[in-house]
A = this chain, B = another copy of it.
Amino acid sequence: MATRAARGFGQYSGVARAIERVGERWALLIIRDLLVGARRYSDLKAGLPRIPTNILSDRLKELQEAGVIRRVPTVRGGYELTELGRTLEPVIVALERWGWSTLGQPAEGEIVTADAVALSLHAAFHAESAATAPPTEYVLHVGGISLSAMVVGDALDVMPIGPGALLQPMRRTAPEVPPSDVLELEVEPVGLRDLLAGAPGAVAVKGPPAGVSILVGGSALLARFRRTFRIDPVGPSTRTVQEPGAAASVA
């Protein structure tokens, strides 16, 4: 029924309103996938394997009412983010970064999806570090899915590739990257975590971490990857909120 008005938090507050609008179960994962690009109903379902179809249907309706997604008129079952929906990117990125720092081993039956990895790369992307490197293509194979990340200057372009790809848009800019600037990795899910969120000290000092094997390219390219993509362990925002540490501050 998509009736949620009665489930508010009773607060006139930014966080509360945000959660009322996009905090429902599965909603932020749908938004995450749509951040990578427009998707069809079946694409979303495939990227969210455990979502019941009625819930996906409900969420899509609610998110349309909230104004964060809209239908793509010319494509049956196509959905895309609105301008407002795209402004949720900082929220998704913040969650992604925090999630990686607390992400242990994959649980039984957990899978890796192409859109999720694509967004992880965006969340891990350091434009400043990237800008100092020549144009580079990184090809990743993780748990059965494959994607290509093209870095040119401070711009990143990620797309799924191969048979499992949900869609195959034209590469926007396809500058020929010389073979010496192509890195191709076969990565276990846990290896991806170590690669993106692992201890920075280990950058290419002792070769690839466990669960990461280089198919094409050298260790210098791996070091470039780790300079370009990394999720710093602690939220690096400037905090000035009072420290809770002291018990005396309660009472």
Count A-side interface residues using an 8 Å CB cutoff. 99
> Quick check: B102 and A17 within 8 Å, CB to CB?
yes
> Quick check: B249 and A38 within 8 Å, CB to CB?
yes
Q: Separation in Å of the A79 CB from the closest CB of chain B?
A: 9
Which of A56-64, A133-141, A211-219, A233-241 participates in binding chain B? Answer: A233-241
**Total copies of this chain within the assembly:** 2
Instruction: Verify if A163 is at the interface (C-beta below 8 Å from B).
Output: no
Contact indicator per residue, chain A 183-207, by CB within 8 Å of chain B (1) or not (0): 0000001000000000000000000
Instruction: Return chain B residues, CB-CB under 8 Å to A111.
Output: 10-12
> Quick check: A250 and B110 within 8 Å, CB to CB?
no
Point out the residue from B88, B116, B169 that lies within 8 Å of A249, measured CB to CB.
B169
Q: Separation in Å of the A241 CB from the closest CB of chain B?
A: 6
Contact indicator per residue, chain A 86-109, by CB within 8 Å of chain B (1) or not (0): 111111111111111111001101
Given A38-B247, A241-B36, A84 and B102 contact (CB-CB distance below 8 Å): yes
Instruction: Verify if A21 is at the interface (C-beta below 8 Å from B).
Output: yes
* 9 A-B pairs whose Cβ atoms sit less than 8 Å apart in the complex: A10-B49, A11-B49, A12-B110, A13-B103, A15-B28, A23-B28, A74-B247, A88-B98, A90-B98
